[in-house]
Chain A
Amino acid sequence: MQAWLIIAYGLLIVAGVALLVFAFRTGDRRYLYLAVLLFVVFPVVIVLKFPTEISPETQLLYDAVEKLPDSSNVLLTFDYYASTLAETEPMSRATLRHLFRKDCRVLTMTTIPLGGPSIAERVTREIAAEMGKVYGVDYVNLGYKANYVAVLKGMGSSIEAIYPTDNSGTPLAKLPMMSRIKNYADISFIIAIADNDIVSYWISIVRAQYGTPVGTGVTAVSAPQYYAYVGAGQLTGMLGGMKGAAEYEALVGHPDRATKGMTAQSLVHLFIIFSVVAGNVIFLIQKRRAGAGGQA
């Protein structure tokens, strides 16, 4: 590591600790907010690269996609709101790159009415342009339909019955790719990228009732819930939070937004841990002093 980088990050840590001390002394939490801001912005300006270890859950998802025969039909869902884009969008981008690299035909959809179709359009078109893929031939965006339970169940019988047109209003019959995809029986793998409980429905409705394997990418806060499904073999792999996305980017060999975000996330995590430890040390000292005062 370069000496100036060590000095720069050393100064950052000193500033963070100083702000924590100010926060304690004055009781003003704005010092803490300033420290968090510093730890988020600083690594964006001065990048420090750290190697990312691949977790077994990420490896499982990558291997499942890797084992798919070339030109397989894959359903990729954009089941997340704009609020969690920092965590979930890198997952979509990395998986899309992997799928397109394997020449998979990608069908995208969303169960989120607020902006779900727009996110799917923007991300898919950007990666498709980068990989030279053509709309209607290599990928199709189905968009949104209300009532996700009925949508997930209905697509098992006929995708066209639920989505007569794609997101832009083009009838599915006019899209060459859709002539090969009628229902889940024609889909080899489903990757549900989500920030809510919809993944449970992909498992209980689609994986359990139609047998199509499902992998997922979820926010870090909801990842613990899905370990149970990965352990039971009901989920074929999982990306947990931005770290999961960074791991997948490393596997695909295309470091992108999640990899860049890892340093900021690392620093904020370490700062929060330091704050917890410092808070507890202060708590214990105060408790001991109060006890000593009571005895006197």
Chain B
Amino acid sequence: MKTTVPVIIAFLAGLVMVLAFFFDPEKSFVGRLEPEVLRWVTIVGGFTLLLGVVSIIRVNYGGVHRRSSGWGYKLATVVSVFAMAIPAMLPTRMSPLFGNGPGSIYDWLFNNIDAPMMSTMFAMLAFYIASAAFRAFRARSPEATLLLVTAVLVMLWRVPMGEAMLKGIHHSLPEYINTYIMGGANLAVQRGIIIGAALGAAAMSLRIMLGIERTYMGN
């Protein structure tokens, strides 16, 4: 029963979405069913977010309560979750500082604390890439050499100074890189990957609908 009901729900929901593609959305029963199923999916999606919040609070609060290693960070996580969530959930009619609109506490915290922190984390990559490029990017084999030469050409092509240098060698070199490397070799390989991934996704969807793939239920 614990696995049969979810499999039936997954099968029916998937079937409606597949069949609806072939039916008139206004005139057929299946077509009209599609927006209803999508509304349900959005509502269920909202609950999964709630589940995530409950889970992060449970895990981190447990760590703080037991004073486990790094409990200070866990406390910061719990405090941050509430500091962002509570003012955002309170109605704006109580105060313009509530809600998530412009000028709200949530908005201020996001723009002045969250966004700079996330940008800083991402910006650190530039330092690591420079270090890794110097220490590890070696032409040890013909394949690695090909990768290295291609990477250097594309990196030059993607910035104005590099583009000017390439033009100094041959005025059409940037255009050749775009046409033959990005629009040629890269495009062909990407297309293969995309088609392969799409076929894999279709096969996986079918396995879920038919109840063959049950790992999403924890089995």
Contact = CB atoms under 8 A, between A and B. Distances in A.
Interface string B133-158: 11111110000000010011001101
B119 A20 contact: no
A37 B131 CA distance: 12
B187 A227 contact: yes
Interface stretch (A62-70, A79-87, A101-109): A79-87
A269 B162 contact: yes
B27 to A, nearest CB: 13
B90 interface: no
A118 B163 contact: no
Interface stretch (A146-154, A173-181, A186-194, A288-296): A146-154
B101 interface: yes
Interface in A94-130: 113-115, 117-119, 121-122, 125
Interface stretch (B4-12, B60-68, B69-77, B178-186): B178-186
A10 interface: no
A50 B156 contact: no
B35 A118 contact: no
Contacts, number: 191
A280 interface: yes
B128 to A, nearest CB: 9
Looking at B35, B123, B148, B193, the one whose CB has the most chain A CB atoms below 10 A away is: B35
B115 A115 contact: yes
B187 A118 contact: no
B191 interface: yes
A86 B123 CA distance: 9
A148 to B, nearest CB: 9
Nearest to B163: A53
B114 to A, nearest CB: 6
Interface in B2-53: 17, 21, 25, 34-35, 38-39, 41-42, 44-46, 48-49
A154 B42 contact: yes
B155 A36 contact: no
A147 B178 CA distance: 35
Given A118-B106, A231-B183, A266 B119 contact: no
Contacts of B193: 225
B159 interface: yes
**Interface majority SS (helix, strand, loop, mixed), chain B:** helix
Contacts of B101: 121, 167-168
Contacts of A273: 152, 155-156, 162
Contacts of A20: 134
Contact of A33 (B130, B161, B182): B130
A246 B35 CA distance: 40
Contacts of B122: 83-84
Interface residues of B, number: 65
B156 to A, nearest CB: 7
A47 interface: no
B200 to A, nearest CB: 14
Contact of B158 (A122, A125, A241): A241
A262 interface: yes
A145 interface: yes
A232 B188 CA distance: 11
Contact of B42 (A50, A52, A151, A263): A151
Contacts of A153: 17, 34, 38
B119 to A, nearest CB: 6
A32 B131 contact: yes
Closest 4 CB pairs of A and B: A147-B45, A146-B45, A266-B161, A82-B115
24 contacts: A32-B134, A33-B127, A36-B130, A83-B121, A115-B110, A146-B42, A153-B17, A153-B38, A157-B38, A161-B39, A162-B42, A224-B190, A228-B187, A231-B187, A231-B191, A262-B159, A263-B160, A266-B159, A269-B161, A270-B161, A273-B156, A273-B162, A276-B134, A279-B136
